[in-house]
Amino acid sequence: MEDSTIVKLRDVSFKYDKEWVVKDVDLNIKAGQFLGLVGPNGSGKSTLIKLMLGLVKPGHGSIHLFNKPLRQYQDWQEIGFVSQKANSFNSGFPATVIEVVKTGLVSRIGAFKFFTKKHKEKAMDALRTVEMDEYAYSNIGELSGGQQQRVFIARALVSDPSLLILDEPTVGVDAKHVTDFYDLLGRLNKEQGITLLMVTHDIGTITDHATHVVCMNKTVHFHGASEEYKEFSEEDLNHLYGHAVQQLTHNHDHHEVNYSD
């Protein structure tokens, strides 16, 4: 029987050279959730995303996407991805917004087939969703960081994914636009029923918007509803991260334990 768990990680570990970056992670993401993945710098959040997307291979453990083992998984159009790198692309690249958004359809169209008018309309729809349609023919490099981020979300949305993964999407977006940005995510989640997984270090804001929170520092320290998380006092949090804090202090990186920066 198929259940509503669309991402399932069991006992997943990964190491760079000799150091474990992700260790023994179990994680379930259910359809319809808005999951915030939080943790300090270097806690393995981005690596965990890369593992899920098959961009790096786990040392051990198993990963299932939509009830299929990652190895056999082919329906990439079901998953939209907005990477951290999206805001560090070559800003001199000679392409228009609509050309960039259409690349989100490459997996859906398949090999030896061409972009058609229908694909252009789909791209315009996605741009309308993120309220960037009036910039369709602007050069991508001429937009502000926040506008570019919306374009990359449109690129991820254009293939009608049921899961959208965002890696630190608010980095480089000014505070005023961060609120708009969360509103957009909220709409996608509630109105279009898209499951969201968002990596962030901004724990204060994410708990106001996400339905569920996962805190990790190499291993998962907390996984539950946002409401549950908000009831924790600072002491509880310290306790929760106690082990992590100690570990970081040993690595003379105390300032990185400051979550609310």
Partner 1 sequence: MINNFFQYEFLQNAAITGVLIGIVAPLLGVFIVVRRLSLIADALSHITLTGIAASLLLEKKVTGINEWNPIYLGMAFSVVGAILIERLRKVYKHYEELAIPIILSGGIGTGVILISLAEGFNTDLFSYLFGSVTAVSRDSMWTVLMITSIVIVIVILFYKELFVLSFDEEHASVSGVNGRWIHLLFIVMVALVIASSMQVVGILLVSALMTLPVASAIRIAKSFKQTIGLSIAFGETSVLVGLISSYHLSVPPGGTIVVTAILILIMSILYKRVQAQQWMKGEA
The residues of the shown chain that bind partner 1, judged by CB under 8 A, are 53, 55, 74, 76, 79, 81, 83, 85-86, 89-90, 92-96, 99-100, 102-104, 106-107, 109, 111-112, 114-115, 137-139, 155
Pairing of strands 212-217, 60-65: unpaired
Angstrom distance (rounded) from CA 77 to CA 202:
28
- By C-beta, is 56 or 257 nearer to partner 1? 56
Q: Minimum distance between the CB of residue 112 and partner 1, rounded to whole angstroms?
A: 6
Question: How many residues does the structure list for the chain?
Answer: 261
Q: Which of 50/209 has CB closer to partner 1?
A: 50
Angle at 25 between CA 24 and CA 31, to 5 degrees: 160
The nearer residue to partner 1, 112 or 191, going by C-beta atoms, is 112
Least Å distance, CB 237 to partner 1, is 33
Nearer to partner 1, 38 or 105 (CB): 105
Give me the least distance between CB of 111 and partner 1, in Å please.
8
CA atoms 168, 47, 159, 88: torsion sign: positive
Closest CB 49 distance from partner 1, rounded Å: 10
Helix and strand numbers (H, E) in the chain are 9, 10
Q: Using only C-alpha atoms, what is the Rg of the chain?
A: 19
What's the Cα-to-Cα distance from 182 to each of 102, 141, 150, 227, rounded to whole Å?
Answer: 24, 23, 11, 17
Cβ within 8 Å of residue 161, ≥6 positions away: 77, 78, 79, 80, 194
Residue 126 contacts residue 80 (beta carbons within 8 Å): no
**CB 64 to partner 1: min, Å:** 17
Closer residue to partner 1 in complex, CB, 24/75: 75
Shortest separation between residue 83's beta carbon and partner 1, angstroms: 6
The token duo for 237 is 């949090």
- Residue number, 6 or 215, with CB nearest to partner 1: 6
